[in-house]
Amino acid sequence: MSTSRTAYRTCPLCEATCGLELTIEGDQVTAMRGDDDDVFSHGFICPKATGVRSLHEDPDRVRRPLLRTPGGFEEVSWDDAFAEIDRRLTPILAEHGRDAVGSYLGNPNAHNMDAIIYGRVLMKALGSKNVFSAATADQMPKHVSAGLMFGTLISIPVPDVDRTGYFLVLGANPLASNGSLLTAPDMRGRLRGIQDRGGRVVVVDPRRSRTAEVADEHVFIRPGMDALFLFSLVHTLFDEGLAAPGPLAEMTAGLDQVERLAADFAPEAVADACGIDAETTRRIARELAAADSAAVYGRIGTCTQEFGTLASWLVDVLNVVTGNLDRPGGAMFTRPAAGTSNTRGTPGQGKGVKLGRWQTRVRGVDEVFGELPCACLAEEMDTPGDSQIRALLTFAGNPVLSTPNAGRLRDALESLEFMVSVDIYVNETTRHADVILPAPSALYRSHYDLALYNLAARNVANYSPAVFDLPADALGEWEVLLRLTGIASGQGYDADIEAIDDFVVSALIQREVQDPASPLTGRSPDELLKALEPRRGPERILDWMLRSGPYGDQFGGDADRLTLEKLEAAPHGIDLGPLEPRLPEVLRTPSGKIELAPERITTDVERLRAAASRRQNGGMVLIGRRQLRSNNSWMHNVPQLVKGKERCTAHIHPDDAERFGLIDGEQTQVTSRAGSIVVPVEVTDAVMPGVISIPHGWGHDDPEARLTVAAEHAGANSNLLADEELIDPLSGNAVLNGIPVELSPVRSEQAAAVA
Ligand SMILES: Nc1nc2c(c(=O)[nH]1)N[C@H]1C(S)=C(S)[C@@H](COP(=O)(O)OP(=O)(O)OC[C@H]3O[C@@H](n4cnc5c(=O)[nH]c(N)nc54)[C@H](O)[C@@H]3O)O[C@H]1N2
Ligand SMILES: Nc1nc2c(c(=O)[nH]1)N[C@H]1C(S)=C(S)[C@@H](COP(=O)(O)OP(=O)(O)OC[C@H]3O[C@@H](n4cnc5c(=O)[nH]c(N)nc54)[C@H](O)[C@@H]3O)O[C@H]1N2
Ligand code: SF4
Ligand SMILES: [Mo]
């Protein structure tokens, strides 16, 4: 008879990092609830959390390496799988060069310590310029604006939601998404807190989202026009003498230039393009200026659009011009316990960021932070020439459902010479792979949110050990990545991964002791390495990061300071307090100032100026919408999350429905330059006229995928419509909101005939 035990585990499914309490009997999870004692989430969880358990148990989850054969996928041993990869990948590298092997890294990597640490090691060993990730279908514009303004890609100000008096939200729906670039569990409770304190929440969105519904005010905006609107707020602040950067002025370069640039963007001049009347804009500007504290925050809707970087930049311009950057209740910088690029090196000054160091081969689009835009991935595979991608590795990614022009991408994957996927499913993307290497379920691995604690609304640290020991025939994801590193670095399929791991940690230590700005400068690397004994793998590196980080013991034996051991003794996490002002120490720009008007950004203002004269012309544009019981493309195989009425539907305003002859419950064909899909219509005034909203991540109708439950709720892939030619030029980010489309009715009898 087995006895039951309790395990605590941070939920890895989204950015909120909620604490879970699991009841375990033998090798089964028998119950799961929110951890009331979690220092950050205090018991909050969302409906999606159930997925942690279901994914673990899902019979469709891949558990053994799979090799594609003429008769379909066959299970093989790990050694055979790695030998096959070595046999086929190594000649491609030798004959066609490093760039012939491309990589695509998907979103779950950001929630996975193994992947964050060892993915980087593998990418370095591969040495290919053809690195792509979901970041260029997501937040890349924010990395670019933050990098240019504050000096590192991760220096993204986080709204201090727990203290702010005025929260201006653009293109984010935290009530469905649970927050993004804003790690703060229970956003509903935190928004209520703002209102209970007498504060105000204002949401700017082309849809009346769940967040807009609970806000004090919702303002419709035409998709893609946020930069115009934000500029007109900046304009109003200067125009009406309300600009008040206060002590920030001295730390800021380019304030005058921003004022000059804003001159052209009076609220009256952009009202038609934005669909927001000038009086509303002026009033919001005055409210922002009058609030004791205010935070402006933009997310997916402001990033994945044609002016993504300009809008992301202007969000923080507003935070500076109103004096709210870096002050309690404003937009602040987290100080993450595991350290990051803005806690290392010389405080207050650094190298800044360099973008566009190389370009994509086919379209000549700039590199950003070492990667290339995912909107360019298909053409790099299907266009012949030197450095054409001939082999692709995917890691926790489903670009066939997540990136633009999915149809072209799918064909391009089929044309590859070789493809490897590290994933948990045979899905729309991985089914094209020659070898699938299974990642274990999250409950088999330990967790520390290396990425998201960089962007948290409080400083917190929480470590969870693996809930279950790995089965004997499984490999940890970090071991998989190290074995691929062995292959990529020419050490063969059975390279000594312990030696590679030792090398990785030694390199980290070397770098630190040689940095004159580090508290560890001049210390003996051997002594530090020894202090990490007997840990190995991700735990050793995490312990290193924590101990050398801003709260770390610096290997000095101070029991009050942070170590992994201390976190192990604190299963509900350690609260390191509310966000604290970090200027000017946080800056890593060469000037040591906030760069309010970086040249790369200001040169793009011309393009925006041209958009100010746009008028509604009767055409329709497509936007997305996230759903509470969904997680991008990959949680539709969890029965509890897909039950109920069909969710992959098109939201259309009643006026448009009438114009196009569309009927609620019937279907519409939606066509763009890139492709065409058929989806059911829901007529609702929750979207503004001229806008159609379809969620992404659906379209599970590929017969080669092995997603039994998802196939019964297939829906349509909205990224067949997204146009890979539309990108934000400064970041290369895909435009996934504001795509021109045409609509036509599909009557049920026709639908039946087509099917
Ligand atoms: N139209 C439209 N498109 C969008 C968006 C949008 O708003 N609208 N949003 C964009 C955004 S924000 C994002 S982040 C991207 C997401 O883009 P992707 O990351 O490419 O897609 P996901 O659906 O998150 O797919 C995750 C993959 O990881 C696998 N997986 C899950 N857990 C693990 C694990 O622990 N290890 C491994 N190795 N694999 C795992 C899943 O099976 C799945 O294949 O989509 C983007 N696409
Ligand atoms: N339940 C659930 N949670 C998730 C995810 C999920 O798929 N499901 N995905 C996770 C991921 S990877 C991410 S990146 C985050 C994203 O987190 P959020 O950004 O908060 O999520 P979205 O729901 O995509 O919110 C985008 C909003 O922008 C609006 N919008 C579209 N176009 C425009 C525009 O041009 N301007 C403005 N102002 N608004 C616009 C949309 O109507 C939508 O309400 O969510 C994460 N959390
Ligand atoms: S909000 Fe996110 S982290 Fe919290 S339980 Fe839901 S999916 Fe998990
Ligand atoms: Mo995302």
Dihedral sign, Cα of residue 617, residue 618, residue 620, residue 623: positive
Dist. CA 398 → ligand 1 center (Å): 5
Residue nearest to atom 6 of ligand 3 (CA): 46
Ligand 3 site, residue 46, Cβ cutoff 6 A: yes
Dihedral sign, Cα of residue 587, residue 591, residue 592, residue 595: negative
Ligand with the closest atom to the CA of 736: 1
Residue type, 569: A
Dihedral sign, Cα of residue 296, residue 298, residue 302, residue 307: positive
To test ligand 2's pocket by mutation, which of 300, 398, 628, 636 has the most ligand atoms within 8 angstroms of CB?
Answer: 300
Determine the 3-state secondary structure of 413 from DSSP: helix
Ligand 3 site, residue 372, Cβ cutoff 6 A: no
Residue nearest to atom 2 of ligand 3 (CA): 14
Q: What are the structural domains of the chain?
A: 4-45 (no CATH), 611-754 (2.40.40.20)
4 Cβ partners below 8 Å, 6+ apart? 23, 24, 25, 30
Ligand 3 site, residue 707, Cβ cutoff 6 A: no
Counting every residue, how long is the chain?
A: 755
Tell me which residue of 391, 397, 387, 396 sits closest to 420, measured CA to CA: 391
521 Cβ partners below 8 Å, 6+ apart? 512, 513, 514, 515
Q: What is the pLDDT of residue 450?
A: 98
Which protein residues are within 6 Å of ligand 2, measured from CB? Answer: 14, 48, 107, 138, 170-174, 176-178, 180, 204-207, 209, 221, 223-224, 226, 299-302, 305, 623-628, 630-632, 737-738
Ligand 1 site, residue 724, Cβ cutoff 6 A: no
Nearest-Å Rg of the Cα atoms of the chain is 25
Packing angle of the helix pair 226-239, 267-274 (nearest 10 deg): 160
Are the beta carbons of 41 and 19 closer than 8 angstroms?
yes
Ligand 3 site, residue 17, Cβ cutoff 6 A: yes
What single DSSP character describes residue 469? Answer: P
Q: Which atom of ligand 3 is nearest to the CA of 20?
A: 5
Packing angle of the helix pair 278-290, 226-239 (nearest 10 deg): 60
Dist. CA 182 → ligand 4 center (Å): 12
Are the beta carbons of 469 and 441 closer than 8 angstroms?
no
C-alpha triplet 325, 328, 330: angle, nearest 5°: 40
Are the beta carbons of 40 and 53 closer than 8 angstroms?
no
Name the maximum alpha-carbon separation found in the chain.
77
Cβ neighbours around 415 below 10 Å, total? 12
Distance CA 618, CA 86 (A): 55
Q: Is 733 left (phi over 0), alpha (psi -120 to 50) or beta?
A: beta
Are the beta carbons of 300 and 138 closer than 8 angstroms?
yes
Dist. CA 635 → ligand 1 center (Å): 10
Ligand with the closest atom to the CA of 300: 2
Ligand with the closest atom to the CA of 396: 1
Are the beta carbons of 460 and 432 closer than 8 angstroms?
no
Mean pLDDT in runs of 10 for the chain (755 residues)? 89 98 95 98 97 96 98 98 98 98 98 98 98 98 98 98 98 98 98 98 98 98 98 98 98 98 98 98 98 98 98 99 98 98 97 98 98 98 96 98 98 98 98 98 97 98 98 96 98 97 98 96 98 98 98 94 98 98 98 98 97 92 97 97 96 98 97 98 98 98 98 98 98 98 87 56
657: phi then psi, degrees, rounded to nearest 5: -55, -45
- For 76-113, give the DSSP string: --HHHHHHHHHHHHHHHHHHH-GGGEEEEE-GGGGG-H
Tokens 């025939």 belong to 473
Helix, strand, coil % in the chain, rounded to nearest 5: 35, 20, 45
Q: Which atom of ligand 2 is nearest to the CA of 204?
A: 38
To test ligand 3's pocket by mutation, which of 36, 46, 50 has the most ligand atoms within 8 angstroms of CB?
Answer: 46
Tokens 């727990």 belong to 162
Report how many helices (DSSP H) and strands (DSSP E) the chain contains, helices first: 28, 30
What single DSSP character describes residue 134? Answer: G
Q: What is the pLDDT of residue 557?
A: 85
Q: What is the pLDDT of residue 747?
A: 84
At 129, list the tokens.
């310029």
Q: How far is CA 692 from the centre of its chain?
A: 24
Q: Which atom of ligand 1 is nearest to the CA of 441?
A: 35
Are the beta carbons of 623 and 692 closer than 8 angstroms?
yes
Burial class (CB in 10 A: 0-12, 13-18, 19+), 253: middle
Packing angle of the helix pair 267-274, 278-290 (nearest 10 deg): 120
Ligand 1 site, residue 735, Cβ cutoff 6 A: no
Q: What is the pLDDT of residue 698?
A: 98
156: phi then psi, degrees, rounded to nearest 5: -100, 120
Distance CA 156, CA 163 (A): 18
Are the beta carbons of 232 and 281 closer than 8 angstroms?
yes
Instruction: Kindly list the distances between the CA atom of residue 528 and the CA atoms of 23, 548, 601, in Å, as whole numbers in the listed order.
Output: 37, 10, 43
Residue nearest to atom 28 of ligand 1 (CA): 396
- For 247-279, give the DSSP string: THHHHEE-HHHHHHHHTT--HHHHHHHHT--HH
What single DSSP character describes residue 441? Answer: P
